[in-house]
Amino acid sequence: MSYQKPRILLNYKDLLFTLLPLVLIVVAFAGLASQCTFAANGPTPGQIPNFDARAALQSDARTLSFPIRDPEVPDSWTPNSGSRDTIVGEGGGQVSTIGYITDTGAYMRMTQSDATEQALARFVIGSRYASGTEQVGDQKWVVYAEPAEETVWIADFGASRVLITGAGGAGAFTTLAQAITAAQPLTR
């Protein structure tokens, strides 16, 4: 005859010993189905999506009403994404964005727009304030930097503004800023 405790005497220890075998069974099935892996070194980088930034920027140059630049980034940088958007409200405008993975694996993003600097900054980073400037060649870049937030640089090119941001360090920002400053607007 087996002994069972009255329900009123059951506690968390009893619950743990009941659920533990079930959890182990679920983990075993997930491992057998190759839906779960245990890596000693943490996550491994996946395949970078193939994105034709040149074609996207050419299309944006023909479609959007402001000058679009196609910067010559280092060959080791891989374009991986792009999009178009619209900033509504005061100072808003159209937006063209291209993302890159640098040679160190950091993501950098270039956003071009005919919106004002304030509207573009608000659209991308919210309510932060400028914290300084960087001079890259003849171009001044307004810097929005806060601890624990991605740094943002914005430059005014007259008929358009360009914003760069990402997880790269100062070198990646300078490299992208130099490439953008050197790039001439694409022909429509």
**What CATH number has the domain bearing residue 84?**
3.30.200.100
7 found inside a domain:
no
Buried b / exposed e along 54-83 (16+ C-beta atoms within 10 A): eebbbbbbeebebbbbbbebeeebbbbbbe
- What is the structure's pLDDT at 188? 80
Q: Which residue has the higher pLDDT, 147 or 41?
A: 147
Q: 34 and 163 in contact (C-beta within 8 Å)?
A: no
In a domain, 156, yes or no: yes
Please report whether residue 90 resides in a domain.
yes
pLDDT of 102:
95
Note whether residue 8 is domain-resident: no
The total number of structural domains that make up the chain: 1
Q: Residue 34 CA to chain centroid, in angstroms?
A: 29
On whether residue 26 sits in a domain, the answer given is no
111 within 8 A of 100, measured Cβ to Cβ: no
From residue 50, give the alpha-carbon distance in Å to each of 26, 38, 69, 149, 163. Answer: 36, 28, 20, 28, 23
Instruction: Name the band, by pLDDT with cuts 50, 70 and 90, for residue 42.
Output: low
Quick check: is 23 in a domain?
Answer: no
Query: Do the domain assignments include residue 32?
Result: no
Residue-wise pLDDT tens digits, 112-170: 999 999 999 999 998 889 999 999 999 999 999 988 899 999 999 999 999 999 999 99
Q: What is the pLDDT of residue 35?
A: 57
Q: Which domain holds residue 159?
A: 53-182
pLDDT band at residue 34, thresholds of 50, 70 and 90? low
Q: pLDDT band for position 91 (50/70/90)?
A: very high
In a domain, 64, yes or no: yes
Provide the 3-class DSSP secondary structure of residue 62. helix
